[in-house]
Amino acid sequence: MRSRSPATPGGTPGAARSRRAIERRSAAPLLFLRQMPAAVVPVLGALLLITGIAVRGAGGAAALLVLAVFLGWIGYLSWPSLDARGRLLRAAALAVLAALAVLQAARLGTQPAPRRGLSAFAE
């Protein structure tokens, strides 16, 4: 079983009203995620990343954006407990996902070059 730190019942001490509201609204989804088997969230994240990279156009961009929104939400909730390095890594991950999503969306109208196999020489 994975180790879990006890949650602060009132949320982040000294937090702004908007942050407390987001933490309160996030409690039920976080509880749902916590009750899932430990491998489910990382596997779904990996599938979204692979789909986002492999699928051209809007489908790939959408998968990457869903992953970015999820990581952004988790990152926002954990932000107060992170040191500078952790914050930098989370911000960099979101920036890379956003850049990949933009690149995938830009590939929307492009078609791969036709392949010339052995059948092209048979004519």
* Contact between 67 and 48 (Cβ < 8 Å): yes
- Over residues 96-107, the pLDDT tens digits come to 999 999 999 888
Per-residue pLDDT at 111 exceeds 70: no
Please report whether residue 17 resides in a domain.
no
Per-residue pLDDT at 21 exceeds 70: yes
1 confidence band (pLDDT: 50, 70, 90): very low
Long-range Cβ contacts of 52-55 (<8 Å, 24+ apart):
52/97, 52/100, 52/101, 52/104, 53/100, 53/104, 55/104
19 confidence band (pLDDT: 50, 70, 90): confident
Please report whether residue 30 resides in a domain.
no
**Residue 5: DSSP 8-state:** P
Give the pTM: 0.72
Tell me the residue range of the domain where 50 lies: 40-109
Per-residue pLDDT at 117 exceeds 80: no
Per-residue pLDDT at 79 exceeds 80: yes
Once rounded to an integer, what is the mean pLDDT over residues 38-61?
Answer: 94
Residue 11's region, left for phi above 0, alpha for psi from -120 to 50, else beta, is left
Please report whether residue 121 resides in a domain.
no
- What pLDDT is recorded for position 2? 45
* Domains held by the chain: number: 1
